[in-house]
Structure 1
């Protein structure tokens, strides 16, 4: 049945490579486990190619089992997994796995973030004879290293993303517009260029809708989102996108931090615009933006295989201190964030963050969003964010090469 959707089916070879990566990391993370049991739809998609309601059992050896609540027909159309079976209750998983020749191990590596507390208790009560150990990090590590198939998608996403924010949007916006009006133009441009609309966050409870559209001091407005750029948002219950009550006025910045997604894969990019000519930009604003560009370059040059993620963070924070930019770097006051970038792929906030203590060696094929930004009191936020593919020679930007402030007169 897969021939109905051959253009969007994840190739069998791609799935096999993903299984191999998980099997590589499982002995490191949970050596006692004989396999991984996943529950969230995104992880199910990653391991099966179908975004269905169910579970996936990936044993250390042999064919995985895709258990499906809904929709079995869809799973059989989309997935190249050979073993796809329906189930109704957690208590069915063990008998079904045994029936298809892939019995569950006594110790199971569980995707603990894939279930609510309520469902987790239900799982352990229905399968009391099994021991569950956390294996979420296995999936994070596996997804952090992208295949060539994934990279090809992300490179295309990055091209569309850059064209939308650097070439198309500047022709449509102007000072005097509200953040909400600008947000609507961004959506129109994004959709015209292939944006799928729905973006995903990995962190529990974190949400995203288009991104941040922050005019002037909105860029340093307190934000509940775990990122340096502030925003007022649509409403206190919907602190996303842009406010209908905030106008972008002359001689002020507009910071647009908006993700782009196609075929499930995201790129992240921030573009700063200025309402006025370049000569009207204050020197301290230009200097702060230049510093952020330099920090992006420094980080990208060090995105090489074998370099520790934490070393890049320490390097940039040290440079900020030497240059006198500590106070506003990565946010102001309590809004300052303890990272300067993050992995990205099937979610915006991918693993690993570029942060203190993440002593993970970088590998070729990882993809990072680098986002050095600087908050200026009474002005707003300047800086950059772009998405970089790790190569043997360093980070290669896939979201364009123009990192300057774009002036709109």
Structure 2
């Protein structure tokens, strides 16, 4: 888990609060009452949870994290107070109504990545609402890196540096690749390898399930 691999549990509450403050500043400038966040990276960035769901962010009031599965895990991961189960996409308006007291007249969506079919679904769920693109607002929010994020970037860079340095020391012509990576990665925060591709002077190959199992021993 994150606590053992990265040395901290989950995204701190003050980190999420700072991101939401910057986001709402952009929403206010554009006249957007609320937005829905569905794209995975944006969703994680603003909620702190990796569980599949939708995040509702009003210009004022508490955000609402609606999770399709693993609600208890989402409550553990996210510092947000309002975390509920989303049994069906059709429940979206009623959940927002219960929290916010009404439905937004202007609703922001990530139109740079949102599938057209999903856009039509939201049109049907929120009749009369004016939909606006929040892609640039979210990008502007994310491009400002906090000390917390900078520290993580430095940590990731150091892990990468150690990994490549170790690779230079370990890789030798004719060696068996199935077990050597196990020596390198666990101590650097890795929980294992997935879909591992091995590249040699004769070409490349994907490790077999047996070799993958060896890596997990």
Aligned residue number for residue 193 of structure 1: 188
Structure-to-structure mapping, 1:111-150, within 5 angstroms: 111-113=110-112, 115-150=114-149
Whether the 8 Å contact between 1:59 and 1:102 is mirrored in structure 2 is no
Whether the 8 Å contact between 1:90 and 1:123 is mirrored in structure 2 is no
TM-score (norm 2): 0.76
Gaps of 5+ in 1: 1-5, 200-208, 211-233, 235-240, 248-409
Aligned residue number for residue 81 of structure 1: 80
Gaps of 5+ in 2: 1-6, 205-217
With over 3 angstroms needed to count, the CA separation of the structure-2 counterparts of 1:245 and 1:187, relative to structure 1, is farther
Aligned length: 198
Aligned residue number for residue 19 of structure 1: 20
CA distance in 1, matches of 2:178, 2:135: 35
CA distance in 2, matches of 1:183, 1:15: 40
| Structure 1 stretches of 4+ moved >6 Å | 181-184
Alpha-carbon offset, residue 64 of structure 1: 0.8
Whether the 8 Å contact between 1:23 and 1:60 is mirrored in structure 2 is yes
**Deviation per CA, 1:16-54, whole angstroms, max 9, x where unpaired?**
0010111123345xx132122101233222111111111
> CA RMSD, aligned part only?
3.1
| Higher Cα Rg, which structure | 1
Whether the 8 Å contact between 1:63 and 1:82 is mirrored in structure 2 is yes
CA distance in 1, matches of 2:35, 2:17: 15
Deviates more, 1:111-120 or 1:75-84: 111-120
Whether the 8 Å contact between 1:38 and 1:114 is mirrored in structure 2 is no
CA distance in 2, matches of 1:187, 1:24: 46
TM-score (norm 1): 0.43
Whether the 8 Å contact between 2:93 and 2:125 is mirrored in structure 1 is no
Whether the 8 Å contact between 2:61 and 2:100 is mirrored in structure 1 is no
CA distance in 1, matches of 2:118, 2:33: 22
Aligned residue number for residue 54 of structure 2: 55
**Deviation per CA, 1:269-325, whole angstroms, max 9, x where unpaired?**
xxxxxxxxxxxxxxxxxxxxxxxxxxxxxxxxxxxxxxxxxxxxxxxxxxxxxxxxx
Structure-to-structure mapping, 1:227-266, within 5 angstroms: 242=199, 245-246=202-203
Structure-to-structure mapping, 1:352-371, within 5 angstroms: none
Whether the 8 Å contact between 1:109 and 1:132 is mirrored in structure 2 is yes
**Deviation per CA, 1:319-357, whole angstroms, max 9, x where unpaired?**
xxxxxxxxxxxxxxxxxxxxxxxxxxxxxxxxxxxxxxx
CA distance in 1, matches of 2:57, 2:81: 13
Whether the 8 Å contact between 1:22 and 1:142 is mirrored in structure 2 is yes
Structure-to-structure mapping, 1:178-217, within 5 angstroms: 189-195=184-190
Q: Secondary structure at the match of 2:203?
A: coil
Higher strand share: 1
Alpha-carbon offset, residue 104 of structure 1: 3.7
CA distance in 2, matches of 1:42, 1:129: 29
Aligned residue number for residue 170 of structure 2: 172
Whether the 8 Å contact between 2:28 and 2:59 is mirrored in structure 1 is no
Q: Secondary structure at the match of 2:97?
A: helix
**Deviation per CA, 1:358-389, whole angstroms, max 9, x where unpaired?**
xxxxxxxxxxxxxxxxxxxxxxxxxxxxxxxx
